Structure 1
C-alpha cells in the first residue's frame, strides 16, 4: 500500500496570503468593482472620475510594459558578445598563430578586425587576412589609424621568447 506524503495534508498548507508586489489589469478591475459595489447609492462616483482612473491605469500599465522592454533590451545587450566586442572593428589585433593540423605554434600574426560574430556564446573576430579567431586569443590591440607623436616610441621591449634563449 502506498503512503501519502504528510506535506500534502490541508493542515500542513500555509494559510497566510502572499501579497503580490505587482498590480495588473485583474487587480485594478477587482479594486474598481469593489469600489463600485461599495459606493454610496445616493452619491455615485462621477463618470469623469471613473474615466480618469481608467486612463491613469492605462498610462501606468504602458509605462510598466515599456520599462520591462527596456530592461530586457539592456540585459540582452550586456550579454551579447557581438556588442561587447564590436568596438574592435577596424582595430589591428595580434594573435598567436598555430599550425591547423599539428597544433604547433607559429609566428605571432597581426591583422585588422573586419567583423565580429558569435558562436556558442563566444565572440569570434573575423580578420582581413581571412582568419577567424576567438576574442580571448588576442595578445595585443592597436589602432592603425592613430597618429604617433614623433617623440613617442612605438615599440615595447620585453623578454625574448625564442627557443634556446634564457
Structure 2
C-alpha cells in the first residue's frame, strides 16, 4: 500500500493568491459553508449572527443590482449628437470661415441649419449655403425672423 505525504499537496499549492474585487453569491456561500464546517461543536454559531450575515449579504446583493441597473439607465440615456442638436434645424447660425491652408480667420458667415448629421461622434450642422460645420464651432444661434410683408400697402 502506498502512502501519500499530505504535505506534498500543500507544497504544490500556490503561495500567493490574487484577490478578486468582487464578492458574489458563490464566494459568500463558500465562506459561510467553511464557517459552518469549522465551527466548534460545543459552541455553535449563534442563530442571530447567522441571520445577520445572511441579511447583510442580501442587502449588499440588492445594492449591487441597483447600481448595475443605474449604470444601464445612464448608458441608455446617452443621447446621440444628431438628437442632441436637432433642435437647431431651422435656426440661423453664425460661424467663422477660415483659410484652409493658413487657418487664418477670413470672415464670419451666417446661414440656416437645414440638417444635422454625425461623424466620429461629433455633430455636424448642414447649412443652407452648402457648408457643413461642426456644432462646437458655432459662434451664435438665433431664430430666423421672417418678414411678413405687411406694410399696410393698399389699405385705405
Q: Match for residue 49 of structure 2?
A: 49
* Displacement after TM superposition at 1:43 (Å): 3.1
Q: Match for residue 25 of structure 2?
A: 25
Inter-partner Cα distance in structure 2 for 1:116 and 1:76: 21
Structure-2 change in CA distance of 1:43 and 1:75 (3 Å): same
Q: Is the Cα contact below 8 Å between 1:117 and 1:124 reproduced in 2? A: yes
Where in structure 1 are there 5+ consecutive unaligned residues? 1-13, 98-106, 146-166
Q: Match for residue 141 of structure 2?
A: 142
Q: Match for residue 70 of structure 1?
A: 70
Q: For 1:61, what is the secondary structure of its paired residue?
A: helix
Where in structure 2 are there 5+ consecutive unaligned residues? 1-13, 98-107, 145-156
Q: Match for residue 86 of structure 1?
A: 84
Structure-2 change in CA distance of 1:62 and 1:137 (3 Å): closer
Inter-partner Cα distance in structure 1 for 2:80 and 2:28: 41
- The answer to which structure, 1 or 2, has the higher relative contact order (CA under 8 A, 6+ apart) is 2
Please give the root-mean-square deviation of Cα atoms over the aligned residues, in Å.
4.2
Q: For 1:140, what is the secondary structure of its paired residue?
A: strand
**TM-score (ref. length: structure 2):** 0.50
Inter-partner Cα distance in structure 2 for 1:69 and 1:111: 41
The 4+ residue runs of structure 1 with deviation greater than 6 A are none
Q: How many residues align?
A: 119
